[in-house]
Amino acid sequence: MSQRVEKAVEILKSTGVRMTPQRHAILSYLLDSMSHPTADEIYKALEGKFPNMSVATVYNNLRVFKEAGLVRELTYGDASSRFDANVEEDHYHAICTKCGAIRDFHFPYLQDVEEAAAESVGFRVTGHRMEIYGVCEECQKKAH
Ligand SMILES: [Zn+2]
Ligand SMILES: [Zn+2]
């Protein structure tokens, strides 16, 4: 069990959440893959190991993790939400327009934009969202 998973389990236990093998598997998948999966992708990755698991189980667990502050839900209009287990570091996402892969990257210089916005429109700013679109390395290789 990785340290990240161990720490997350501790956080869940401290909020009174009971650990089940399925819950543990979903949590490990999220924290170890860091691939920003959809609920469906998590389900497909784990259904072999847990034949009794349903997509609803995955959703319920994701909600529990979200409430405990362990994952962030990334919404994309009508498309399926993706779940980000990297909540410790502020980061941005580069999204592949061919396969949907999401990669994290850091660009702390943009924090100033929140101050600029607050000054300019008088908001109490709570966050911002920026995404980069393009074709990931894997998909670039496939194209050749
Ligand atoms: Zn791609
Ligand atoms: Zn991320």
The domain segmentation of the chain, as residue ranges, is: 3-84, 92-143
Torsion angle in degrees (nearest 10) through CA of 54, 58, 60, 63 = -170
Taking the CA of 129 as reference, the closest ligand is: 2
Please check the confidence at residue 121 and state whether its pLDDT lies above 70. Answer: yes
- 82-103 pLDDT tens trace: 999 988 888 999 999 999 899 9
Please check the confidence at residue 48 and state whether its pLDDT lies above 90. Answer: yes
CA of 48 to the centre of ligand 2 (A): 26
139 known member of a binding site: yes
144 known member of a binding site: no
93 known member of a binding site: no
99 known member of a binding site: yes
CA of 131 to the centre of ligand 1 (A): 15
CATH topology of domain 92-143: Dna Ligase; domain 1 (3.30.1490)
- 3-84 and 92-143: identical CATH topology: no
pLDDT-derived band at 144 (thresholds 50, 70, 90) equals low
Domain 3-84, what architecture?
Answer: Orthogonal Bundle (1.10)
CA distances (Å), 102 to each of 84, 93, 105, 123, 127, in order? 10, 6, 10, 30, 20
Helix (H/G/I), strand (E/B), else coil: 3: helix
Q: To the nearest whole number, what is the mean pLDDT of the chain? A: 92
